Amino acid sequence: MKNKKILLAARPRGAVEESHFRLVEAEIPRADDGEFVVRNHFLSLDPYMRGRMDESKSYAASAVVGEVMVGTAVGEVIESNHPKFKAGDFVETRTGWQLYGKSNGGGARKIDPNYVPLSAYLGAVGMPGVTAWIGLNEHGKPKAGETVVVSAASGAVGGTAGQLAKLKGCRAVGVAGGRAKCDYVVNELGFDACVDYKAGNLDANLKAACPKGIDVYFDNVGGPVLNAVLGHMNAFSRIALCGQISGYDDPDALAVKNFRAFLVNRINLRGFICSDHLELWKPALTELGQLLHDGKIKYRESIAEGLENAPAAFIGLLKGKNFGKQLVKLI
């Protein structure tokens, strides 16, 4: 038995390609004192990883060329010399894109696959869910009856954000790419409406979907969708700026034309990432776990099979080809 790892082979200039990654084999690591070894079942693929591939200043340290690509995974402890984790425990760790990882417990959490499915700890009951919870509750602060628009609405973050808004009594309006995603957002996730940004008429369709204007915009994409949304924001509305996937390859695509709207409507915009608010993870995860366990929030997954397919799946994610939370099944 060997470990397999995907390394960051080179930093992209513009679009990510498979050549920026390299698959290698290695020995399965052994646990020293205070460490454990995990066999990963699912690897999470998330848009934030694009930022880690760059050397340019971002909110987290860059991934290192020649080392395992950064990422979070869930799996089972197979060997432990750590007092708090034992063989057979299920854990979420930041061991990156590999089949087997070693951890000293930092950033690791025990999880219970009998409470919600194992993979959900990478989605609605993990970082994406917490991101949705923080952005909506701490920054968006919607009141019942207000209109909340969420971009990338079929994704792990957006889908959760919109469902949380519905649970608060808001009108939830999604923006997603394509009819199938929009149908899912409305029919399965229970949003009130969903605008297909690929269908054209974004501005008119947003207006129709938000007859009382927009009070909260949870933005995962930036660019043209943000520009369109700005024209419909109400006075004293809020924008929780969570992601800018439309411009990760080309920051110029994120230019905002209608900046006057921020003053005219006294908009409050806040960029945030979930790790800014570590104190909120516990209450957020507790609530999200309960909601998922009780069937009050739903999610969907795109699952790539095998570590070797992670680069292609990640490239697809950046292009919006995934449908729901993108995972790689490793076992």
Site residues (CB under 8 A) for a second copy? 57-59, 222, 226, 235-236, 241-244, 247, 251-252, 254-260, 262-273, 276
Residue with Cβ nearer a second copy (33 or 252): 252
**What's the min distance (Å) between Cβ of 109 and a second copy?**
24
**What's the min distance (Å) between Cβ of 49 and a second copy?**
15
Residue with Cβ nearer a second copy (103 or 265): 265
Residue with Cβ nearer a second copy (81 or 258): 258
**What's the min distance (Å) between Cβ of 165 and a second copy?**
21
Whether residue 122 contacts residue 327, with contact meaning beta carbons closer than 8 Å, is answered with yes
* DSSP at 61: P
**What's the min distance (Å) between Cβ of 60 and a second copy?**
10
User: In degrees rounded to 5, what are phi and psi of residue 226?
Assistant: -60, -45
Whether residue 233 contacts residue 207, with contact meaning beta carbons closer than 8 Å, is answered with no
Q: In the beta sheet, which residues pair with residue 74?
A: 42, 92
Q: Look-up: residue for tokens 């950046």?
A: 318
Sign of CA dihedral 193, 150, 119, 287: negative
* Residues 77, 210: Cα–Cα separation, whole Å: 48
**What's the min distance (Å) between Cβ of 127 and a second copy?**
16
* DSSP at 85: B
Residue with Cβ nearer a second copy (24 or 264): 264
**What's the min distance (Å) between Cβ of 241 and a second copy?**
5
**What's the min distance (Å) between Cβ of 19 and a second copy?**
25
Whether residue 246 contacts residue 221, with contact meaning beta carbons closer than 8 Å, is answered with yes
> 93 in helix, strand or coil?
strand
Write the CB contacts of 310 (distance below 8 Å, at least 6 apart in sequence): 6, 21, 43, 45, 97, 304, 328
Strand-pair category, 21-26 with 73-80: unpaired
Provide the b/e sequence for 209-246 (b: ≥16 CB within 10 Å).
bbeebbbbbbbbbbbebbbbbbbbbbeebbbbbbbbbb
Residue with Cβ nearer a second copy (65 or 256): 256
Residue with Cβ nearer a second copy (233 or 285): 233
Residue with Cβ nearer a second copy (252 or 294): 252
- Which pair of structure tokens corresponds to residue 23? 């698959």
Residue with Cβ nearer a second copy (105 or 247): 247
**What's the min distance (Å) between Cβ of 110 and a second copy?**
29
